[in-house]
Amino acid sequence: MTLRIAMAQLDMLVGDITKNTQSVIDAACKARDEEHADVVVFPELTLTGYPPEDLLLRSSLDTRIESALAKLLAEIRDIHVVVGYPRRIDGELFNCAGVIYQGQLLVEYAKQELPNFLVFDDKRYFSEGCEAGLVDIKGVKVGLSICEDIWHPEPIAQAKAAGAELILNLNASPYHIEKMGEREALLHQRAIEVTLPIVYVNYMGAQDELVYEGGSFVVNAKGEKIMQAPWFEAGLYSIDMIVDDSQPNKVEPVAGVIAPALGVEASVYQAMVLGLRDYITKNRFKGIVLGLSGGIDSALSLAVAVDAIGADRVQAVMMPYTYTSSISLHDAEEEANLLGVKYSVLPIEAMVSAFTDVLAPEFEGYSKDTTEENLQARTRGVTLMAISNKKGYMVLTTGNKSEMAVGYATLYGDMVGGYSVLKDVFKTLVFKLCRYRNTLGYVIPERVITRPPSAELAPDQKDEDSLPSYDILDDILRMYIEEDQSAEAILATQKFDRETVYRVLRLVDINEYKRRQSPTGVRITARGFGRDRRYPITNGWHIGE
Ligand SMILES: Nc1ncnc2c1ncn2[C@@H]1O[C@H](COP(=O)(O)OP(=O)(O)OC[C@H]2O[C@@H]([n+]3cccc(C(=O)O)c3)[C@H](O)[C@@H]2O)[C@@H](O)[C@H]1O
Ligand SMILES: Nc1ncnc2c1ncn2[C@@H]1O[C@H](COP(=O)(O)OP(=O)(O)OP(=O)(O)O)[C@@H](O)[C@H]1O
Ligand SMILES: NC(=O)CC[C@H](N)C(=O)O
């Protein structure tokens, strides 16, 4: 006998329970009629999307969920549907997975391991389940588990002890650079502990800073990967299970297609494109506008924007000032032409002069400093925001993780905007991503990648005049931010001098206020500057402790 399982690697819109319920019905019908599946498995919290955050606290949640479940019970026939939703039971809210078949809710399982770290806040909303959830599908005892459950041995061992012969795991597991390898090693370990096959189903789509890259997969009872759905492609992916009561492993997955693994640059690039595309689409922006400086950050951001929503909805604006070099003007125009976007040149001299003229009496007796530099960045910010207001385009912010770490950006200047694709990307990775993008088609002029980065806010300015070289800076930042190392531990590597380390760490600490005011953006590491890292702005902690 064969049991065919369809993995619904799909996207849901957070909060749109009506639309998501219809998506479940449509996908279930497709899985039944086109894939001829016996079971279709959706990701965690399918009906609300993940994470629904404080929407879970809204008073109409329960009635919305109950009517969604009633619709599913009424409309789905002849296929087992495994779907996720929040449900209140005896006054407590649980993160549930239910199995619906022929108008009945056969079983309801409540997630037991509630993640409350990094970007996850499950304990803010949910109570922990405590019992295994098992359902008989075509004579197979199927055990349910939800995302974080699989990262711990107990829930799966409990399901096995209750008689499970196959595990279905519903996920909302966001992307970061190392996540693909981590999941595979984890499932290998879990499967051999319980000697059961596991079907792992993930979302494919983005929600604010989080990107779900899909990559649903199946391991057999020996922990071997038997089937791998593609990354960054939505769809229904089916696998057959041979069910044979005479075998020691009663349920044996039949080897399916293994989608090829992605390299680091390829997966980061696709995560940035998906994150931006879903942000723009789900928030219904008409297009994207960004300042194009001839530098590398805006060049890469522009390429991502075009790959996300198409050149016809993207506008690049060069805003030259006295210190803008002719090379920058030329390279910006070339980038815009290579990508085929609308390109405008709006000189800002007159606007900056208007500010400095009005401020002249106020500044009498003061010498020139970053105030004048910031006026240039702010004038550009005002200009971009005006275009955004007028045309309904969102301003794409171009700052990278290295700059956001040390506060090398102007508040209400180049920090304006609604979303950023480089927010979690160190400058050293920006260079690699440009090279990667050019392998898909030459869109970033070589000189933009090789010339020394400069803010061009003062004559002959280079980033490395005020910051350590990006190789050194990014190494220190990685250790401090992503690995939580102390100043002494960083110094113990003997790779950096004491003064540089203390200066960089101090800059990170004192610039929390800037990061709090920065737009959200794609998370590509396990420690981004969004919900992953929550430091008090006002604090008396001393570096190195
Ligand atoms: N804890 C705190 N809470 C709230 N506000 C705080 C604060 N500490 C300072 N502030 C305020 O923040 C303001 C200072 O910040 P801000 O006005 O941004 O200015 P600031 O950080 O002083 O200067 C901007 C820096 O970014 C560099 N930059 C600018 C533009 C582009 C690039 C690039 O290459 O990409 C680099 C520029 O060269 C300069 O070093 C002041 O108003 C100050 O009072
Ligand atoms: N002349 C300019 N015309 C248009 N936008 C500009 C200009 N100068 C700066 N910007 C905007 O401000 C952002 C910060 O630019 P800046 O040159 O100061 O720093 P950067 O981090 O080196 O960025 P980039 O590599 O894009 O130049 C740019 O990415 C761009 O969006
Ligand atoms: N939604 C969840 O429970 C996610 C937690 C899990 N460790 C993951 O990222 O895969």
pLDDT tens figures, 144-163: 999 999 999 999 999 999 99
Is residue 240 marked as binding? no
Q: Which of 232, 237, 388 is CA-nearest to residue 308?
A: 232
State the maximum Cα–Cα separation within the chain, in Å, rounded to a whole number: 92
Kindly calculate the radius of gyration of the chain based on its CA atoms and give it in whole angstroms.
Answer: 26
Among 3.40.50.620, 3.40.50.150, 3.40.50.1980, 3.40.50.300, what is the CATH number of 265-463?
A: 3.40.50.620
Q: Which of 40, 33, 28 is CA-nearest to residue 3?
A: 40
Three-state DSSP at 231 gives: strand
Is residue 298 marked as binding? yes
Residue 402: count of CB within 10 angstroms of its CB: 25
The whole-number pLDDT of residue 291 equals: 98
Measured CA to CA, the distance from residue 267 to residue 429 in angstroms comes to: 12
Q: Using CA positions, which residue lies closest to atom 2 of ligand 2?
A: 293
Q: Write down the mean pLDDT value for the chain.
A: 97
Domain locations in the chain?
2-261, 265-463
Task: Give Cα 58 distance to the centre of its chain.
Answer: 25
Q: Which of 413, 445, 409, 416 is CA-nearest to residue 332?
A: 445
The Å distance, Cα 408 to ligand 1 centre, comes to 7
Report the top-level CATH class of 2-261. Answer: alpha beta
Q: Using CA positions, which residue lies closest to atom 3 of ligand 3?
A: 148
Q: Using CA positions, which residue lies closest to atom 6 of ligand 3?
A: 148
**Polymer length in residues for the chain:** 545
Residue 167: count of CB within 10 angstroms of its CB: 26
The CA-based dihedral angle spanning residues 389, 394, 399, 405, taken in that order and rounded to the nearest 10 degrees: 90
The Å distance, Cα 496 to ligand 3 centre, comes to 36
Measured CA to CA, the distance from residue 375 to residue 348 in angstroms comes to: 10
Nearest ligand 1 atom to alpha carbon 410: 18
The Å distance, Cα 437 to ligand 2 centre, comes to 20
Sheet with strand 251-253: strands edge to edge? 104-110, 92-101, 80-89, 39-41, 2-9, 235-243, 251-253
CB 484 within 8 Å of CB 386: no
Q: Per the omega criterion (within 30 degrees of 0), is the bond before 51 cis?
A: yes
- Sign, CA dihedral 50-51-55-57, equals positive
Question: Of 56, 171, 207, which is best to mutate to test ligand 3, by the most ligand atoms within 8 angstroms of its C-beta?
Answer: 171
Measured CA to CA, the distance from residue 108 to residue 130 in angstroms comes to: 12
23 CB near ligand 2 (under 6 Å): no
For residue 539 the two structure tokens come to 């604090």
For residue 284 the two structure tokens come to 């219904």
Residues with CB under 6 A from ligand 1: 370, 373-374, 377, 403, 407-411, 413-414, 455, 457, 463, 513, 537
The Å distance, Cα 413 to ligand 1 centre, comes to 9
Nearest ligand 2 atom to alpha carbon 456: 17
Is residue 139 marked as binding? no
Share of the chain above pLDDT 70, in %: 100
The Å distance, Cα 513 to ligand 1 centre, comes to 10
Q: Which of 141, 147, 117, 142 is CA-nearest to residue 129?
A: 147
Question: Of 398, 422, 465, 470, which is best to mutate to test ligand 2, by the most ligand atoms within 8 angstroms of its C-beta?
Answer: 398
167 CB near ligand 2 (under 6 Å): no
Residues with CB under 6 A from ligand 3: 44, 115, 120, 147-148, 151, 172-174
For residue 125 the two structure tokens come to 């909303």
Q: Using CA positions, which residue lies closest to atom 7 of ligand 3?
A: 148
Measured CA to CA, the distance from residue 378 to residue 393 in angstroms comes to: 19
Q: Which of 96, 109, 39 is CA-nearest to residue 68?
A: 96
pLDDT in tens, 449-490: 999 888 777 777 777 777 899 999 999 999 999 999 999 999
122 CB near ligand 2 (under 6 Å): no
Is residue 514 marked as binding? yes
Return all residues near 263 (Cβ < 8 A) that are at least 6 apart.
Answer: none
Measured CA to CA, the distance from residue 473 to residue 445 in angstroms comes to: 25
What letter represents residue 537's amino acid?
I
CA distances (Å), 488 to each of 65, 374, 482, 495, 497, in order? 52, 34, 16, 12, 11
Q: Supply the residues annotated as catalytic.
A: 44, 111, 147
Return all residues near 357 (Cβ < 8 A) that are at least 6 apart.
Answer: none
pLDDT in tens, 231-282: 999 999 999 999 999 988 899 999 999 999 999 999 999 999 999 999 999 9
Give every residue of the chain whose pLDDT is below 50, as ranges. Answer: none
CB 5 within 8 Å of CB 55: no
Strands 2-9 and 39-41: parallel
The Å distance, Cα 222 to ligand 3 centre, comes to 23
What letter represents residue 314's amino acid?
V
Task: Give Cα 258 distance to the centre of its chain.
Answer: 24
